[in-house]
Structure 1
């Protein structure tokens, strides 16, 4: 056994009956439990994968039962089981997974540094050297070189590395350059053989210095937060959503805290992003810095592709942040490969880590995959990815100095069901429920944004797809803001608007999606909406699909629509399948709009049905249709009362100032938790 505190020392909550995922998770505290009782259906993918990953019987019949799992599934499950139990594997058992598949590779990568330390640097270095000598696969070689970098090992001499570069493909070439940078020192020029073929390679060959308007203060905590799945200043585009708005305002607020020296928000940037904006870093506000981490992709990778950039992300973040006077705490929020890469960077920088844990995809996993069959490739891929995120969340919880949660209706009890190990977090106190909040709206920006009032822009011309006509200004408005994505279900909202015939008496405004260079997901969502509107010219004219706009513009529009002097009913509606919290919903409430939000997820924590808004069932078409009719029938007095109550809820309980105070205390606690660290 590896001599470290077990990340899965638990106090259990009783699992819910008939939930195979919860039953499997309940075995985390014991080496005796088994999931053999789950194997009722040989083609039931969830049962088989859970048995493979959480079972403890070495003679598990899962590999010989009908419709067996793939060798990749079995290898991934075995690696995760070993990681959770703290079992030390032979080095060769980890080195063999360069081509097994992304999930097995990530599991092996998670185990490697600690395993290498346990076996000793000399043995690990020798094993890597031997593996590199015997592989003919560039992918395998890339994996092995990245492992050498991760454990700070030197299996290759400079001459051997240069020889390998002569035949290296792009991925291996980049790994070898990173290796040379690490082994020869940050200021040593790479060999003349290393020449760049594009701007990304130019950055990699000669990593630039951070160019900050002013040097961050050495006193006070330096806190790093991440927004790798989108841009901090482009909410609603691609993967950017409410979190980008949250982190922008939160970073600005935290930078004003007396104990905080600086806030660094990490964002990913691809080739096209650097062409559009060549800056590597800039100041968002006094003491809040944005650092753009280069990725070898046209633009920010999707969450499912982030594993391809795991090693490079870690290397870039360490390389860039070592230029700061100090880096004290990383705050990570997503359970994915990007966060695992940043956790590696935090460890290599000697930083503590705070992780915000959520029960996603845990809470819906059993229901979502109840009918997934081993013989269905598409659904199997989705199930594998969900289980991969579960493993990532477990590892981030285990590696975190402090764990925080998003407040919810069931508080820590829901988290305890899905994370039985979390009871011992924060020195046995369990996760801290950190409030979320929004920044105050600047009244001066309400009058005009970028030279034109949002209302005038919205009602510019009904012949355009991104505007309504002046003739419809007196019709009620349904407003929905968010990135165009199946999870946000804008197409379901359009279908409900049509099915209820609200298109005859109201307008629908959707705001979200990239202004240029739409992603495939955004194109598909637009296509679905277009197909729904086919043949209905009036509905098409009364629906405006605007690309994502500046947050200040959105909030100004919401205030204009909510203004009682307009005397035109307006609602904000969120049709998402789920919202962990719903920053856009809070902003609409704060603006004075009556809102409707999902009855599951995080929104019910602050929205009480019939008191300060409406909760509706977003999982069924009938639920959205019923909710729209209900909102439309509200008398004016009731509608305005809901809006006023919602506004008061946000103003009293969901300010970014309160959120910053609680998180600053968590960051101080994280530093105090490490012996010998100065929390100042």
Structure 2
């Protein structure tokens, strides 16, 4: 295939994802093509189709010639912001361009996603041209008066010089079993899950806490789990700044067997997964310090195409630590769904990409998959074909390094809470406190609404979780509003992140603050996981004088790769509403244990909501509960998940010991 044919494939691609895959083929062609193709690519960067223009920009970077580099420099000033942004990234593939240095330094000072890309490009150029790059940053710093901009440039300058405070002494560690590191940068994790539902601390955070404990239950095969997360706690930052948790102290804190929590200090404004890219240097420095202090780490498990995985993969490659990747089609599945329902059209891709970084995240996920020693897939209908269609990876051709593993929950703990709530067992202080909190929340309701069943939804206040859509569907359908109260659990209502504030505002557009409780809508904010699960049990069994039995759980997510909270609700006996794609479609019996629907369509969501209420109040509650719990017990217990992953980790560690040849990420 020549460049013109490859460009034609991009332009004529049937879907956005097809165009992105064709763009990768265009890069492959350009990489080995002669100088004559540059003119064709330059013309293609002016194409009105944003997919073609972006693909051509990256093909110039793949070509790598000085001529291609010069054209990329000119694109830094392109009036199409998405083209200019991708030019910053594509420049990392060519030799240092003196004409671009000042502009890239300026982007670093301004920050944001373009600033991250610019710093990354400068870092790659510095490998061959350190003096020129360092001089440009120094000049930019001298001319910069804004304190925030200066801080960003100081961080870049320190990083180019190799970072500060990263060295740690040789650690000691005991125990013959494996050491497994796992990462979720966007939640402040600890064993009590006290931040659950706050900011980005959602289902992944709950999973890692429980999984880390469960991995240690498999004899001596795993004797240490290190869960790494980000933290904006001032005490954590002060401790790192004072050296109390770096160097030898950090090494000693991670040395023994057990489940350790390593919290990396993150500075600057609170950021969501989609806006956290400027944390790249901070996160990499912190992850490197933790992994160095940990001593031998046998495997690190990464789970998403975010800034944490980006830098953790780089550190792992440098240190020879093999990577296991949970390969979920994010952002690809949501992108495909939005294009299918018309909410994202090809002509608007450039604008959407500037906000969501879809092209970069797609390439990052594929690069992570290429580096990983083993891939873990979520159960989903026709999983192999689905991954190939959405991500462009043929997992059927590499089954020896692929496992399908469902996520897991602590069934025994949940069933204990259910018994306590129903009165079949003495209530623990935690459960009693949780029910008192629920009573306080429901006391906001007017008298005529007290005692109705509850519809509950638990999750981050993020547009992808669909909380505003759920509130609208409930409010605008009288038969729903009259039959139940709606309780939304999640989010920091007192100090919301920008993403949380946006979703709260969308909910308030549906029901103003002063009217919400009167209508039956209650925003409960984030609650510890133990509190949330007690509320789910209460929604199912009811609590005298507080709420009637036969409530439901509603997941209105635009996509749900698996659904930890859904499984928790099923374990408590609740009928659930969930997306009819992704993980939930593999474990919910439609019309029996729940209702599957197209959650992107508010009318279908409302209809499914109503059918769930009918199902919950129909005869056969005990049978439904047994069937729901049987699914969880047989397939999705946390120990089942841990057992499967221990086999994966052991095999990966054995291969690494035999080869010791890490593969570097190339995105």
Structure 1 equivalent of residue 285 of structure 2: 315
**CA drift at 1:88:** 6.8
Instruction: Pick one of 585, 593, 599 that aligns with 2:580.
Output: 599
Q: Is residue 617 of structure 1 aligned with residue 605 of structure 2? A: no
**CA drift at 1:286:** 6.2
1:678–1:304 CA distance, 2 compared to 1 (3 A)? closer
Q: 1:261, 1:287 within 8 Å by CA — same for their partners in 2?
A: yes
Query: How far, CA to CA, are the matches of 1:138 and 1:483 in structure 2?
Result: 35
Once the two structures are superposed, residues 328-384 of structure 1 have per-residue CA deviations (whole angstroms, 9 ceiling, x without a partner) of 2111110233312111010111111111112233235345346635478633535x7
Structure 1 equivalent of residue 354 of structure 2: 381
Q: 1:479, 1:571 within 8 Å by CA — same for their partners in 2?
A: yes
Structure 2 equivalent of residue 120 of structure 1: none
1:460–1:163 CA distance, 2 compared to 1 (3 A)? closer
Instruction: Pick one of 477, 496, 508 that aligns with 1:530.
Output: 508
**CA drift at 1:95:** 13
Q: Is residue 550 of structure 1 aligned with residue 528 of structure 2? A: yes
The count of corresponding residues between Structure 1 and Structure 2 is 599
Q: 1:335, 1:392 within 8 Å by CA — same for their partners in 2?
A: yes
Query: How far, CA to CA, are the matches of 1:362 and 1:659 in structure 2?
Result: 25
Query: How far, CA to CA, are the matches of 2:238 and 2:467 in structure 1?
Result: 29
Query: How far, CA to CA, are the matches of 1:284 and 1:459 in structure 2?
Result: 44
Instruction: Pick one of 261, 264, 271 that aligns with 2:223.
Output: 261
Q: Whose helix fraction is larger, Structure 1's or Structure 2's? A: 2
Structure 1 equivalent of residue 452 of structure 2: 475
Query: How far, CA to CA, are the matches of 1:532 and 1:160 in structure 2?
Result: 54
Query: How far, CA to CA, are the matches of 1:532 and 1:479 in structure 2?
Result: 18
Query: How far, CA to CA, are the matches of 2:10 and 2:209 in structure 1?
Result: 45
**CA drift at 1:67:** 2.8
Structure 2 equivalent of residue 663 of structure 1: 645
Q: 2:325, 2:376 within 8 Å by CA — same for their partners in 1?
A: yes
- Where structure 1 has 5 or more consecutive residues not aligned to the other structure, the ranges are 1-26, 113-126, 183-204
Structure 2 equivalent of residue 514 of structure 1: 492
Query: How far, CA to CA, are the matches of 1:89 and 1:319 in structure 2?
Result: 37
**CA drift at 1:245:** 0.4
**CA drift at 1:542:** 2.2
Once the two structures are superposed, residues 125-166 of structure 1 have per-residue CA deviations (whole angstroms, 9 ceiling, x without a partner) of xx76x9599758634789579865898779359x98997776
**CA drift at 1:478:** 0.8
Q: 1:315, 1:345 within 8 Å by CA — same for their partners in 2?
A: no
Q: Is residue 413 of structure 1 aligned with residue 393 of structure 2? A: no
Structure 2 equivalent of residue 455 of structure 1: 435
Instruction: Pick one of 635, 639, 642 that aligns with 2:624.
Output: 642
Instruction: Pick one of 201, 213, 219 that aligns with 2:176.
Output: 219
Query: How far, CA to CA, are the matches of 2:13 and 2:600 in structure 1?
Result: 27
User: Normalising to structure 1: TM-score of the pair?
Assistant: 0.75
Structure 2 equivalent of residue 175 of structure 1: 156
Structure 1 equivalent of residue 345 of structure 2: 372
Q: Is residue 236 of structure 1 aligned with residue 197 of structure 2? A: yes
1:104–1:630 CA distance, 2 compared to 1 (3 A)? same
**CA drift at 1:506:** 1.9
Structure 1 equivalent of residue 105 of structure 2: 138
**CA drift at 1:601:** 1.8
What pairs up with 1:477-496 in 2 under 5 angstroms? Answer: 477-496=454-473
Query: How far, CA to CA, are the matches of 1:523 and 1:91 in structure 2?
Result: 46
Q: Is residue 580 of structure 1 aligned with residue 561 of structure 2? A: yes
Query: How far, CA to CA, are the matches of 1:675 and 1:94 in structure 2?
Result: 44
1:296–1:503 CA distance, 2 compared to 1 (3 A)? same
- Higher alpha-carbon deviation: 570-579 or 500-509: 500-509
**What's the C-alpha RMSD, in Å, of the aligned pairs?**
4.4
Query: How far, CA to CA, are the matches of 2:69 and 2:440 in structure 1?
Result: 64
Structure 2 equivalent of residue 245 of structure 1: 206
- Where structure 2 has 5 or more consecutive residues not aligned to the other structure, the ranges are 31-36, 77-82, 110-117, 145-149, 421-426, 662-667
